[in-house]
Amino acid sequence: MREFLIYRLGQSLALALPLKAGYAVATFFARLQYALSRNDRLIVYGNLRAIFPDKDEEEIARLAKEVFVNFAKYLVDFFRFEKIDKRFLSEKIKVTGMENLDEALKNGKGAIALTAHIGNYELGGAVISLLGYKFNAVALDHKNKLINNFFIGQRARTGVKVIPLGSALRRCFSALDKGEVLALLGERDFSNHGIVTDFFGKKTLIPKGPAAFSIKTRAPIVPGFLLRMPDDTFELIFDKSLSYRATGNREADEREVTDLCVKAIEGYIRKYPSQWYMFRRFWL
């Protein structure tokens, strides 16, 4: 109950304050959390060190602190979903590569939007939905039912259809069969049935869902990310669909496509490391 009340308090503050003031309050608490939570700080620091072994200690520490601040701002944006309107989209969102998503949808088999825990993936889904696309997102249920319902409610405000991880298979196929967009996070495996592969040169377990759905349905995989800019505006970027040649060997094809997904995600994390929200030890 306490955690749920904290979320609701955070939402109340985010809605009551102007956006810049909300970001300022969030930044204060993020820096406090960075200073007080040694375990979280060391985990984020260690993940960044694994990606950038050549960076000095000062730079890694700076990036780690920015991760905490950017994640706090991400929560402010999530809490303010009811304030998102056409004016917000025109003033705060720059869209690049939307033609790549449109091209992927032309075959009538839907499109898999590949993303990761980077930038503001929640806001990205909201923006795509508000732009008129039928948008589905697979999400892990929160253990606390009140918090889970709160998250689902926030997403639903913008038309995002949430597919709980536990019932994902059938509903994912259904969304693609209808020609809709299916968003999948591609770098953290929650099922323990993923593929062990290299991520920044080190072994970890990567979800094979994007590859498996694409191979099964022939739905294109389109990497898509919503990144925060220095002035707290955003750029929504869609790359061209991943290209691969199916061999008929499902295991080999899933591995090849998963490696392509990893490569796409690595590129954005390398470019925006302070926006990768990974507060757990990532590698095996």
Q: In DSSP terms, which residues pair with 112 in a beta bridge?
A: 182, 221
Six-digit token string for 33? 């959390």
Are 278 and 127 in contact by the 8 Å Cβ rule? The answer is no
| Burial class, 74, CB count within 10 angstroms (exposed 0-12 / middle 13-18 / buried 19+) | buried
According to the model, what pLDDT value does residue 192 have?
A: 83
| Strand 111-115 to 135-139 pairing | unpaired
What is the CB-side half-sphere exposure of residue 133 using CA atoms within 13 A?
28
According to the model, what pLDDT value does residue 10 have?
A: 93
pLDDT band at 152 (very low <50, low <70, confident <90, very high): very high
pLDDT at 284 over 90: no
pLDDT band at 246 (very low <50, low <70, confident <90, very high): confident
pLDDT band at 197 (very low <50, low <70, confident <90, very high): very high
pLDDT band at 168 (very low <50, low <70, confident <90, very high): confident
Q: What is the mean pLDDT of the chain?
A: 95
What is the CB-side half-sphere exposure of residue 269 using CA atoms within 13 A?
23
pLDDT band at 55 (very low <50, low <70, confident <90, very high): very high
E strand map for 133-261: 135-139, 161-164, 181-185, 195-199, 202-206, 221-228, 234-238
Residue spans of the domains in the chain: they are: 83-275
Are 8 and 150 in contact by the 8 Å Cβ rule? The answer is yes
3-state secondary structure of 155: helix
pLDDT in tens, 92-125: 999 999 999 999 999 999 999 999 999 999 999 9
CA distance 181 to 160: 10
3-state secondary structure of 256: helix
Average pLDDT over residues 60-69: 98
CA distance 133 to 194: 29
Could you give the angle at which helices 145-157 and 2-16 cross, rounded to 10 degrees?
30
266-272 — which CB contacts under 8 Å span 24+ positions?
Answer: 266/199, 266/200, 268/116, 268/118, 268/119, 268/223, 268/225, 268/227, 269/51, 269/116, 269/118, 269/187, 269/200, 270/51, 272/118, 272/119, 272/227
Average pLDDT over residues 226-245: 97
Six-digit token string for 165? 């991880």
pLDDT at 193 over 90: no
Contacts of 160 (CB under 8 A, 6+ apart): 125, 126, 129, 135, 136, 137
> Which of 156, 26, 142 has the alpha carbon at shortest distance from 84?
156
pLDDT at 66 over 80: yes
pLDDT at 166 over 80: no
